[in-house]
Amino acid sequence: MTISMYQASVPVLVRMLGNLSAILKKAVAYAEAKKIEPRVLLDGRLAPDMLSFTRQIQIATDSAKGCGARLAAVDVPKFEDNEASFEELQARVAKTIAFLNSLRPEQIDGSEDREVTIPTRDQPMQFKGLPYLLNFALPNFYFHVTTAYAILRHNGLDIGKMDYLGAR
Amino acid sequence: MTISMYQASVPVLVRMLGNLSAILKKAVAYAEAKKIEPRVLLDGRLAPDMLSFTRQIQIATDSAKGCGARLAAVDVPKFEDNEASFEELQARVAKTIAFLNSLRPEQIDGSEDREVTIPTRDQPMQFKGLPYLLNFALPNFYFHVTTAYAILRHNGLDIGKMDYLGAR
C-alpha cells in the first residue's frame, strides 16, 4: 500500500473545507448573538497590509479547486470573487467541495510528474505534480484556512483547534 | 510512481521548518532594528486566550517530531519546553530538523496502516498512519506554523507568504 495522489489531495481538501464551512456557521451565529455587523468580521484582518477574512476564504477555495483541477489536468473553475456575505462565502465553499467531489481518482492518480503551471503576476510558476501538491498547494491552502480561523479568533469567536481539525 | 509515506512527511516537514527558521532570523533582526524587547514578540498572541508565539513554535516542532517518530514507530524525542529566547527557539527547530533527518525512508514507508496513538489530557487518540499524517499531523503542523507567522505579521514584521512557502 502506498498513498495515491488522489488520496493525498481531494479527500483532504474536502474534509478541511467541511470544517471551514462549520466554522463559517459559527461565525454567523456569533455575529447574530452579539449584534456584530457581519461586515466587521468579513473585513477583519490581522495587520493593515494583510488580506481580509473574505479574501482568505476566496484564496483558500482557489487553492483547493486549483489543486484538484491542475492535478487532474482540467480547467480550473472560475469564480467571480464577489462574495459580500457569509452566505455567499458558504456557497463558494460548497461549490468548491462539489467541484472537488466531481474529480475521479483515476484523473488524479499518476499525476506525480505532471507539469503544473501556476499563473502569477510575474512569471508563471512551474512544478511537477508531487512537489506542487506537497510543497505549494497544501501548505498554501492550510495557510489561508488557518489565517481565516485566526481572524475570527482574534475577533472573539469561540472556536478551538478541533473546529479546524474536524471530528475524527 | 506513487507517493510514499516518507515523501509525504519528513522532507515536507524539514522544508517548512527551514522556512520557519528563516522567519525566526528575520524576527530577531526586526526586534534589533526597532529596539523591540524580544519578549514582546515571544509572548505575542492573536487573542488573550490563544497560545503565545513561543508555544506555537514549541507545538509546531512537537507536531513535526511526533509525526516522524510515530510513523517510524520510534520514541518521540522529549524537549523541555523551556525556550525563553529566539536563539533557544532556533535551537529547538534545528534539533527537530536533525531528528527528522535521522529517520530513514525505510522506517516510515509502509506505515499507512500503522497504529498511531496520541496521548491527550483526556483519552488517547487512535489513528492509522495514513489518516494520522493527512488529517491530523500535517494540518496541525501547518496550523501552528501559520499562527506563528501571523503573530509576527500582526506585530509588524515585514514577511510575506513566500517566506512561509520558501524558495522553490
Supply the pTM of this predicted model: 0.97
* C-alpha–C-alpha distance, residues A113 and A120, integer Å: 21
Find how far residue A128's CA is from the centre of its chain: 21
**Quick one: DSSP state of residue B46?**
S
% of chain A with per-residue pLDDT over 70: 99
Which residues does chain B have with pLDDT short of 70?
1, 168
**Cα angle for residues B44, B133, B82 (degrees, 5° grid):** 35
The per-residue pLDDT for B164 is: 98
Instruction: Quote the number of domains for chain A.
Output: 1
What residues of chain B lie within 8 A of the CB of A16, using their CB?
A: 139
Find the domain containing A54 and state its range: 10-165
A-chain residues near B50 (CB < 8 A): 150, 153
Tell me which residues of chain A, numbers 97 to 136, contact chain B at a CB-CB cutoff of 8 Å. Answer: 109-110, 112-113, 125, 127, 130, 134-136
Looking at the predicted complex, does its ipTM rise above 0.90? yes
Kindly state whether residue B61 falls inside one of the protein's structural domains. Answer: yes
Query: Does residue B2 lie in a domain region?
Result: no
Q: What is the pLDDT of residues A102-146, one digit of tens each?
A: 999 999 999 999 999 998 888 899 999 999 999 999 999 999 999
CB A70 within 8 A of CB A136: no
Output the domain CATH number for residue B68.
1.20.120.450
Q: Is residue B50 part of a domain?
A: yes
Q: Which chain A residue's Cα is nearest to B127?
A: A168
pLDDT digits (tens, 9 = 90+) for B77-94: 999 999 999 999 999 999
* pLDDT number for residue A166: 95
Residue A111 domain flag: yes
